[in-house]
Amino acid sequence: MEFIDVILKRRSIRAYKRKNIPEEILMRIIESARLAPSASNLQPWKFIIIRDNKAKQEIARLAKERMWIADASVIIAGVATNPDYRMGSGQSSSAIDIATAFAHMSLAATDEGLGTCWIGSFDSDGSKRFLGIPEKFLLVGLLTIGYPDEKPGEKDRKRIQEIICYEKWSD
């Protein structure tokens, strides 16, 4: 698939077929995260792959009872391992680094015929305890991956003229 076609095809999927993802496909998706850029190339992350059905049910419960999450073949927990690191701008890189890796995984999954959905609403403390994540690390988000059981239509997007300006800010 052409790269632009992957971008155009990607949608947030919230209904999944109960079908396992072959290990070689999953590893290609994880490899795309490994190769993602990160602040100062520190790669300050760890990804927890959750496949066990009971564990997926608990994660779904901790994600505000969104039980469809448990239907995904895999849930990936994105953990920032250097949450105090600040870029030269002063901004924390944790969420940016994990989001970039999740974007890579989402596009790689789309290219493999899979669907994904970024989950940012969950009980952080409860999820960290359940997954055994040390206190000093930050659970940034969850990513569901699986075979889509829905075909969401196109979403409205702003026109390009609404999101760009040249040389300096303009309304």
CATH code for the domain of 60: 3.40.109.10
pLDDT tens sequence across 30-70? 999 999 999 999 999 999 999 999 999 999 999 999 999 99
Cβ atoms of 83 and 112 closer than 8 Å: no
For residue 171, being part of any structural domain is answered with no
For residue 30, being part of any structural domain is answered with yes
For residue 168, being part of any structural domain is answered with no
For residue 77, being part of any structural domain is answered with yes
Q: How far is 109 from 75, CA to CA, in rounded Å?
A: 13
User: How does DSSP classify residue 68?
Assistant: G
Range(s) of the domain holding residue 10? 3-163
pLDDT tens sequence across 66-95? 999 999 999 999 999 999 999 999 999 999
**Number of domains forming the structure of the chain:** 1
